[in-house]
Amino acid sequence: MEHQASEDIVISSDKSLLDIDRIHAFLASAYWSKGIPREVVERAIQNALCFGVYKAGAQIGFARVITDHATFAYLADVFIVQEEQRKGYGKALIAHVTEALGRLRLRRTLLATADAHGLYRQYGFTPLQKPDNFMEINVRDIYLQDKTATP
């Protein structure tokens, strides 16, 4: 599905348009996925609903949604490249993603962010109502760990 978000950009869920090199380069240096191997990025994209943001044909942004398409989604790996930030492209991307997820009529959509609460709040995201109900297994810096070490 393609959407002309503005005169400047196009947002598409067509995975064949994704610039995997650019996505991997960004994610490998992002605070939440530092050191992520390319093959992990490829597998994550293959198994998720993905949205690319394109300006003049070049990819400038990305979002990935892990979902069962029926009840639940987790929004992850959202970014706009630094040189294109603060131009409204992130807002356009999140508006597009939340609109697409709204059509699925999901019961719950989650995300985690260290620094973009204000952005997501504009599109209906709120802090967890019952955070004590949620648990996690969180392997910090998994991609930076010694690959020869065994658990």
Mean pLDDT value of segment 134-148: 80
Per-residue b or e along 95-134, where b marks 16 or more CB atoms closer than 10 Å to that residue's CB: bbbbebbeebebeebebeeeeeeeebeebebeeeeeeeee
Q: Residue range 107-124: average pLDDT? A: 95
pLDDT over threshold 80, residue 24? yes
Q: Is the pLDDT of residue 1 over 70?
A: no
Q: What is the pLDDT of residue 145?
A: 78
> Residue ranges per domain, the chain?
2-144
Q: Give residue-wise pLDDT tens across range 70-82.
A: 999 999 999 999 9
Fold of the CATH domain 2-144: Aminopeptidase (3.40.630)
Contacts of 110 (CB under 8 A, 6+ apart): 72, 73, 74, 75
Give pLDDT, residue 146. Answer: 63
- pLDDT value of residue 147: 61
pTM of this prediction exceeds 0.85: yes
The CA distance from 66 to 101, in Å, is 11
The mean per-residue pLDDT over the stretch 51-65 comes to 97
Mean pLDDT of 88-116: 96
pLDDT-based confidence at residue 6 (cuts at 50, 70, 90): low
The pLDDT value given to residue 151 = 47
pLDDT for the residue numbered 35: 94
- Average per-residue pLDDT for the chain: 92
